[in-house]
Structure 1
C-alpha cells in the first residue's frame, strides 16, 4: 500500500519496514505484506502520516522508452553516469519497470504506479519479454534446442528461453536470434549464451507482451496508449 500511495519505490518501502520506520495505528510493522484498511487505519512512515487521499490518488503516468546503450536503468547514480530518467522530461518521481543493462538497448516502461511495476516484474505473471540479439560464432541447431529446453546459469539456476533463429551472417560467422523470457535474472540472456560458448555482440528488447517499440526512435519516449495500459493491467490481473 505504501507503493500505491507513491511514497517511495518498492525497495525503499521494504527498507523502511525493515528499519522499523513504518507504523500502523501506532504499532511498528515488520512485514511488508501487512494488510491495511485505508478507511480505518492510520499509517505513518518515518513520522509522516500517509492519508487516505494519498492511497486513492490516481495521478499515475506511464511511459515507453527506446533506451539507447550507455544509459543505466536507475533513478540516480552515485557515479554520475547517464540514467534513463535523463531522457524523460517529467518532474514526477517515476522509475523504470525492471532493468536493462547499460549496454542493452530497447523497450523500457517507466511509471510511478508501484502496483503495476511489482506485477510486471514478478515472474509468476509470466509476461513475455522479447529480445533481438546478434551473437558470435554462428549458432548450431543443437544449441537452439538447448536454449529452448533450459541451461544452467550461476551454477544452479536452470532457465529457458523460447528461441528462434532470424538470420545467419555466414561471412561474419554470426547469428541473429529472437529470445523470449519471463524471468528477470540479471544478465540472464548473456549468461545463457555464454554457457554455450557464444558472445553477445548486441542485445535489444523489442517487446513486452504485445507492447512493441514500433517506430519509436532510439532515445525517444511516449506515453502508453489507453489500450496498451489496459492490456498490461489485464495481463497482471489489475482489471
Structure 2
C-alpha cells in the first residue's frame, strides 16, 4: 500500500536543488544514490519524507524537512554553527532538531536579521557572488556624517585595495548632545565587516550597527534574541530576488 507522501526518488533529489530530474536519473543509474544506506539503481523507487537520501555520499534535505528561521541576533553571539572556544552561537538560540547553519554572517558586535536554514541550495543562492539581495542596516557613528562622505558612500569607495559598491544612504540624523549620527545604509553586497571598515576609513567609527531587513524580510515584531519561521511568500521572494527575477 503506497503513501500519499511518497514521491519518486529522482523528484526528491531535484526538489532538493541538487540537480535536474534528468540528471538525478543518471546519478541513480550510475549507482551514486543511496536511500537509508542502500544503493538504489532503479528509477521506479519512491521515498518518504523521513527517508535518508545521499548523493555521492552527501546527504540531501527533502523539501518537507526544510526549515527557515529569521533570527534577531543579539550582541556578543557568533554567527556560526559551532565554536572551538565555547562562545555562544546563533545555533544555541534557535531550538530545532535539524542541522542548521546561518546564511551569511553578522560580526559579534552587530545585531539584527540573520536567516538560519538546513536548505543548502537556498543558502547557496542567497550567498552566490553573482546574485545580491539588498540588506538594510541602521548605523550609528561617532561624529557628524558630512554630506561629502554620504555622496562617496553612494558612489562606491575603495578601502585598503578593496572596492565596495555604492550604497543607499537614507534618514540621516545628527544627535548633537551625543555627537553621533544615525542613518540607514542599504547594501547590495556583503563583504566582511564592510560597513565598519568603510566608516573607519572616513574617521567615523561605528558605535552601533543593526541589520533590520534582508530584502523584503523585516524584523517587525521579532525582539532581540527571538526568532520566527520565514513565511512561504518570503522564501519565494528572496529566491526570486537572488536570481534577479524580482
Matched, 1:175 2:164: no
Q: Which residue of 2 aligns with 1:205?
A: 211
3-state SS of paired residue (2:161): coil
Paired residue for 1:94? 100
Stretches of structure 2 that go unaligned for 5 or more consecutive residues are 1-11, 14-18, 48-52, 54-59
Per-residue CA deviations over 1:212-237 (Å, capped at 9, x if unaligned) read 00010100011011221221122234
| Structure 1 CA distance for aligned equivalents of residues 199 and 244 of structure 2 | 35
Tell me the residue number matched to 2:127. 121
Change (3 A) 1:85 1:160: same
Structure 1 CA distance for aligned equivalents of residues 61 and 244 of structure 2: 15
**In the TM superposition, what are the counterparts of 1:1-239 in structure 2 within 5 Å?**
37-41=23-27, 42-43=31-32, 54=53, 55=60, 57-58=62-63, 59-237=65-243
Cα RMSD between the aligned structures?
2.7
1:235–1:188 CA distance, 2 compared to 1 (3 A): same
**Displacement over 4 Å in runs of 4+:** 48-53
Deviation at residue 49 of structure 1 after TM alignment: 7.2
Which deviates the most, 68-77 or 121-130? Answer: 121-130
Number of the residue aligned with 1:15 = none
SS in structure 1 of the partner of residue 126 of structure 2: helix
Alpha-carbon offset, residue 154 of structure 1: 3.0
Q: 1:196/1:89 Cα in 2 relative to 1: closer, same or farther (>3 Å)?
A: same
**Inter-partner Cα distance in structure 2 for 1:238 and 1:167:** 32
Q: 1:170 to 1:95 in 2, by over 3 A?
A: same
Distance 1:238 1:151, change over 3 A: closer
| TM-score, normalising length: structure 2 | 0.76
Q: CA distance change for structure 1 residues 63 and 146 in 2, over 3 Å: closer, same or farther?
A: same
Higher-Rg member (1/2): 2
Number of aligned positions between the proteins: 207
